[in-house]
Amino acid sequence: MRIGLIGTGRIGTFHARTLTAAPGVTEVLLTDADAARAAEVAAELGATSVPSPTELLLTHGVDAVVIASATASHAGLIREAAEHGLPVFCEKPIALDLPGTMEALRTVEEAGSLLQIGFMRRFDAGYAAAREAVRSGSLGRLHTVRAMTSDPAPPPAAYLPLSGGLYRDCLVHDFDVLRWVTGREVVSVYAAGSDAGPSMFRDADDVDTAAAVLTLDDGTLCTATATRVNGAGYDVRMELAGEKDQVAVGLDARTPLTSLEPAAGSSRGTPWPGFLERFAPAYEAELTAFVKAVRGEAPNPCDGYEALAALRVAEACERSRREGRPVAMSEFAS
């Protein structure tokens, strides 16, 4: 299989490395708006570089496409690839708004093509075990879920206006995996945000820290929190508590959290530097799944409608934060 990859930045270079080593992938073709960057990555990995996405899609006879370019380009590239009948793996998000997302999904549906979205936490061993624990009934009736994503340091200031804000850019992963682990839908949200940290967040009309209470359709209560300024280190966790037991994802020696109880001891490992290291096996597994889905050997593990559902929750949180009120998901019915 020959795979074209668009965007050789942070995540795209990681994906390119995975694809060049993937069984059954015979050639990887790379392109980037910064042609020199694509050429450099291609040279390093023994891949082929191509001048533009359009040329990649039209003239190189690729069997599938991986989109890892900047967010603003995703929807257009998805549509272009679908119109050429090509299966697509696209990094989250499809678009930063619901109309743009739905338009891309319509094109994919009309073309009858495959679109997998890169919500890699679904491929993480801890989250998969949490889903299994919920399904097996070992936790009993679930009453509380606590999801969190804490980044050790803010992204570059120039990124913030393009990011869609903390809910759409960051917490969207928690919203997706919350739906996936529990198998339930969010029915209402009540969200707040704080911009009391670095001024770049106020300048971008964004927040550096956010919290939301989410109610699921079976009454389970969830909290989702995120921050861009977690000096202790990268910390992604989920705790699930039921009437019989409770479990945690992301809680181990690398969790940057110190217990102040004397009996707990003081040893604390080195935190993960960031998402690429923490979720490396999950990023690899999602592309292995994509190759299988393209071959027709396995179903699509995360289609575009899953991304739409997670984006709707993020939109509801953003509205709730701005308007200072609880927001029902029915406000976002399609």
Q: Which of 71, 113, 150, 209 binds ligand NAD (CB under 6 A)?
A: 71
Q: Which of 28, 65, 78, 92 binds ligand NAD (CB under 6 A)?
A: 92
Residues 112-141 that bind ligand NAD (CB under 6 A): 118, 120
Residues 262-301 that bind ligand NAD (CB under 6 A): 275
- Given a contact cutoff of 8 angstroms between Cβ atoms, the answer to whether 230 and 256 are in contact is yes
Nearer Cβ to ligand NAD, position 118 or 304? Answer: 118
The pairing of strands 246-249 and 235-242 is: antiparallel
Q: Which stretch binds ligand NAD (CB under 6 A): 62-70, 180-188, 194-202, 261-269?
A: 62-70
Helix 125-136 / helix 172-182 crossing angle, nearest 10 deg: 40
Residue 318 contacts ligand NAD per CB under 6 A: no
Residues 11-40 that bind ligand NAD (CB under 6 A): 11-12, 32-34, 37
| Helix residue ranges, H only, the chain | 10-20, 35-45, 53-59, 74-83, 98-111, 125-136, 160-163, 165-166, 172-182, 199-203, 275-278, 280-295, 304-323
Q: Please give the Cα distance from 129 to 113 (Å, whole number).
A: 31
Residue 101 contacts ligand NAD per CB under 6 A: no
Nearer Cβ to ligand NAD, position 9 or 198? Answer: 9
Q: Which of 91, 174, 206, 208 binds ligand NAD (CB under 6 A)?
A: 91
Structure tokens at 202: 């106020």
Nearer Cβ to ligand NAD, position 67 or 291? Answer: 67
Q: Which of 3, 6, 82, 226 binds ligand NAD (CB under 6 A)?
A: 6
Binding site for ligand NAD (CB under 6 A): 6-12, 32-34, 37, 53, 68-71, 73, 91-92, 118, 120, 275
